[in-house]
Amino acid sequence: MRQAEFTVPAAGITFAVYGETDNAERLIPFDIVPRIFGAAEWQRLELGLKQRVRRLMPSCMIFITIRKSSRPGLISTHQVLDNAQYRPEMQGIDLPNQVYAHIAGIDLVRVAENDFYVLEDNLRTPSGVSYMLENRKTIDAVISRTVCQTYRRTR
């Protein structure tokens, strides 16, 4: 565990919380103990997560076609059109099955034994994917070092 505490800062894996006054970069939280779900629990979560993503996908379409159909009170046209990430090239493009985001990062919080709340949704290529990949690399590195050290001590 102590090795992981040194590995994450050394890799410089950070994130910012946008909207906070200081916009300070923070090290990603790291927990070497993975969260493991039983098959039945995962099956229930999987159904809900798939349903959630299917329900969120049309919101991508709303943003892409905002010029055609503006929904008052939802979001203003200038918030979309003036955003640096807006791509006018997507206007009029109808994607198969209306899949506009291929990766969903849905952060869950367990609030009771069988109950979860959604903390945050990311319908895009979320930065959370890089966190997951870096976490996996860190766990692999820590386990490899631990195994090597144990092997050396037993020789």
pLDDT the model gives residue 125: 58
Please, what is the angle between helix 2-11 and helix 127-154, to 10°? Answer: 140
pLDDT at 28: 67
pLDDT digits (tens, 9 = 90+) for 94-123: 778 878 777 887 888 889 988 999 988 877
Q: Per the structure block, which two tokens stand in for 86? A: 């807006």
Provide mean pLDDT across the span 75-79: 74
Place 64 in a pLDDT band, splitting at 50, 70 and 90: low
Pick the residue with more confidence: 19 or 47? 47
Q: What average pLDDT does the segment 49-68 reach?
A: 73
CB 123 within 8 A of CB 59: yes
Where does the chain have alpha helices with state H?
Answer: 2-11, 39-64, 77-81, 127-154
- Higher pLDDT pick, 132 / 3: 132
pLDDT digits 0-9 by tens, 80-95: 788 887 778 877 777 7
Quote the pLDDT of residue 140. Answer: 79
Q: How far is CA 27 from the centre of its chain?
A: 16
Burial (CB count within 10 angstroms: exposed 0-12, middle 13-18, buried 19+), residue 57: middle
Task: Pick the closest to residue 9 from 151, 148, 138, 144 (CA basis).
Answer: 138
